Amino acid sequence: MTNKSLNIISWKEFQQGIAPLWDSTEPETIPIFNNPYGIIQYNSAKWKDIIYFPCEYISNNKVVGYISIYNLSDVHIRPRGIYIKPEYRGHALGHQMQKDCWDLFPKSFYRAFIWSRIENVERFIQHSNMNVVPGGGSIWSEFGQDFQYFLYSDRSNYPQEEVINFNRKFLSGHKQKYSLGGTNNLNVSWTDNEWQEYFTTHKGNYQELDLDLDF
């Protein structure tokens, strides 16, 4: 029997864990955020309130991979990177890790998204029940130097307003520790201008996107 578990770790531990998979000798330079920030459906004043869970994945008492996840809005979530160590690849661990990661948020965050290279799209469709977002196919990424696909999976139906309020309370309850500026992550008290500078620097080089996440 295989025992698997997903553990929330600190941002620093996450940087150190994925550094070899980034071919990086300077883990502290890995940004917490490197995606097309135009899809985040908050204004810039709320970026520092985004809840972010960096995680390690354990199988048979060994760390086999890393994943992190954050909320794009009050109803959407998105893992940021699926990293499986080379010796453990080819066993669909990444897809199971992603599903376990989704469950760190209530299912009332009804839709989960991820970016994928073209060669992985069919595997996400097969193993993670995901599909391409309308308008989210074959998008050139300067950061990755390849074409990317934006995929989604529905975890539940679109929530009613009272359930969205529950989601907001969930986010508020985790803000002190797990927001981007919380004690588990960047742990800073920047001004709005400093946050703006951080996101401008680390937003990635994707083109600005105008996607309807609730199509």
The values of phi and psi at residue 151, to 5°, are -110, 160
CB neighbours of 211 closer than 8 A, spacing ≥ 6?
39, 133, 134, 135, 136, 150
Domains parsed from the chain with CATH numbers: 4-202 (3.40.630.30)
pTM of the model: 0.91
Low-confidence ranges of the chain (pLDDT < 50): 1, 37
Helix (H) or strand (E) run with residue 101 in it? helix 93-102
| Tens-digit pLDDT profile for residues 151-204 | 999 999 999 999 999 999 999 999 999 998 899 998 888 888 888 887 777 665
Q: What is the pLDDT of residue 1?
A: 43
pLDDT (0 to 100) of residue 155 = 97
**H helix or E strand, kind and range, residue 80:** strand 76-84
Question: Beta 76-84 vs 111-117: how paired, if at all?
Answer: parallel
Beta bridge partner(s), residue 147: 140
pLDDT for 52 equals: 94
